[in-house]
Amino acid sequence: MSLAVVKSRAPAAGRAPEVTVEVHLANGLPSFAIVGLPDLEVRESRERVRAALSNCGFDFPVRRITVNLAPADLPKESGRFDLPIALGILAASGQIPAASLTPTREFAGELSLTGAVRPMRGAFAMACGTARAHEAAPGSADLAAHLANPPAPPPELYLPADNAAEAALVPGVDVYAVTDLRALCGHLARAEDARLSPVRAHPPDPTRSTPSPDMADVIGQRGARRALEVAAAGGHHLLMVGPPGAGKSMLAARLPGLLPPMSDEEALASAALLSASAIGFSPQQWRRRPFRAPHHSSSAAALIGGRNPPQPGEITLAHLGVLFLDELPEFDRHVLETLREPLEAGSITISRAAWQTDFPAACQLVAAMNPCPCGWRGDPSGRCRCTPEGAARYRRKLSGPLLDRIDIQIELPALPPAELASRAATPGEPSAAIAPRVAAARQRQLARQGKTNRELSGRETDEVCRPDNAGEALLREAGERFGWSARAYYRALKVARTIADLAGAAMPEAAHVAEAVQYRRAFSDQ
């Protein structure tokens, strides 16, 4: 047989589309060509595959070899196609059974010159794509037909041994760990002494994993702690303004520990995105909310995504988790403005000349900043030397449309030495006591509307978040006094609904609205 077909997948924003590797051997002058929009890493696989086959004791065909990576319009990158290309050459030349490369078997991995299979990125995303592609579609067949045609066995995915543990977490697919090319060929040839067994999933033990930072470590800042609880309960974006050392970064780092545990769908989606990215995914991250904290020198492409073809940015890597932007005014203004649409929509579309990709971006933004360039404005010691105009100019680096999209905006005072000294006498409330309240409030929202309060549309907000008469009058008065936009008004209404959910109230009351109004006053008087 001079033609062999091998199934594989390409990393593409966590979706891992299927790639068919077709290998054809023909007569003529010896050559080795790879077509199908391969990048430099894929083209270099010719030399790796040639050396790996020779060092594993196989014959490299002295013929005209053509490798087609279909579909032709999908860019192919990385060395993950080394293994399927090598298997295709072996099957086309009759050195392994071609019938062993069935459509339900998929292969990926980079080959070393010795034939060892090296790890790669995107293994979890590939397993998710394999499981989705082969899942049984519900039909209308009767029971007799179902018994006559039992469900097909799960698909098989052959990956580098270092990636098998993470891919095995995906249900509905049998993952095999491949150490070298020779062992895999023995398995495909059904050699009894070389049969491989599927890798069993071993989710990390939560009791042995590194615990999240605890809220009990935060000294004082009772108001900020309450605001963080409200933000966690409703998924609201949060901005903290305060002097250095007030605890802004500490509070932000403890938000993931307050959020409800990930569902199965959320865990799979988050892990697939991380797996296909440059940072990768490890089993220790399973079911843990991502926490991304890019430096303020980050570019717009790094924050929202870029390149060609488009790659995800920090806002996508923080999907279903927390994106923390410290020293917010130090970011380039143009970079910050690119966040406006994804913060509103929960997704972002990156368009290039020949490509358009939609990335999920349903993350929770937590930002921190100083009140002025030196950071000490309002400090009782009087150490601030910034002029009022300089402080106002510093705050004006954040545009009104961006601030409108941040639901909770609070000011943190400096901690006096007396409060620092009394820490042992009055320890803060731990995360273990706050998280159940957050989970209960979040459950009320999901049972009522199927989403968090932050994600409510305008019409849904009118239906779900309408306060009582006293609360409505108070909110209207605050909107007129502070000159709120329609977006700011509705976001304050959503925060009031979250506060009512934490209190177990059927509808927002005046006290809940008053607290929500206080959470939007940090920039009201500038």
Last residue of a domain, one of 143, 159, 194: 194
Domain limits for position 357: 215-426
Residues 190 and 219 in one domain: no
- What is the distance between the alpha carbons of residues 16 and 517, in angstroms, rounded to a whole number? 45
| Region of poorest pLDDT, from 15-29, 183-197, 358-372, 416-430 | 416-430
Residues 415 and 295 in one domain: yes
Percent of the chain with pLDDT over 90: 60
CATH number at residue 166: 3.30.230.10
Residue 204 domain-assigned (yes or no) = no
Q: How many CB atoms lie within 10 A of CB 40?
A: 7
- What is the distance between the alpha carbons of residues 436 and 146, in angstroms, rounded to a whole number? 44
Residue 21 pLDDT greater than 70, yes or no: yes
Residues 230 and 110 in one domain: no
Total tally of structural domains belonging to the chain: 3
pLDDT band at 205 (very low <50, low <70, confident <90, very high): low
Residue 145 domain-assigned (yes or no) = yes
pLDDT at 146: 42
Residue 309 domain-assigned (yes or no) = yes
CA-CA-CA-CA torsion sign (430, 431, 434, 436): negative
Percent of the chain with pLDDT over 70: 92
Residue 360 pLDDT greater than 70, yes or no: yes
**What's the token pair of residue 512?**
């809940």
Residues 149 and 252 in one domain: no
Residue 126 domain-assigned (yes or no) = yes
Residue 209 domain-assigned (yes or no) = no
**What's the token pair of residue 400?**
């009104």
Last residue of a domain, one of 426, 446, 465: 426
Residues 223 and 364 in one domain: yes
Residues 379 and 460 in one domain: no
Residues 180 and 83 in one domain: yes
**More confident: 427 or 370:** 370
- What is the distance between the alpha carbons of residues 346 and 242, in angstroms, rounded to a whole number? 28
Residues 12 and 274 sit within 8 Å (Cβ to Cβ): no
Residue 113 domain-assigned (yes or no) = yes
Residues 190 and 232 in one domain: no
**What's the token pair of residue 85?**
């290309």
CATH number at residue 352: 3.40.50.300
3-state secondary structure (DSSP) of residue 473:
helix
pLDDT band at 384 (very low <50, low <70, confident <90, very high): confident
Last residue of a domain, one of 194, 224, 242: 194
Q: pLDDT tens digits, residue range 249-268?
A: 999 999 999 999 998 889 98
Largest CA distance in the chain: 88
Residue 434 domain-assigned (yes or no) = no
| Region of poorest pLDDT, from 376-385, 398-407, 475-484 | 376-385
Residues in Cβ contact with 516 at an 8 Å cutoff, skipping those fewer than 6 apart: 475, 492, 493, 495, 496, 499, 508
pLDDT band at 63 (very low <50, low <70, confident <90, very high): very high
Residues 222 and 309 in one domain: yes
Q: pLDDT tens digits, residue range 133-149?
A: 877 433 434 444 544 55
pLDDT band at 275 (very low <50, low <70, confident <90, very high): confident
Residue 470 pLDDT greater than 60, yes or no: yes
Residues 464 and 376 in one domain: no
Residues 133 and 227 in one domain: no
Residues 131 and 270 in one domain: no
Residue 187 domain-assigned (yes or no) = yes
Mean pLDDT of the chain: 88
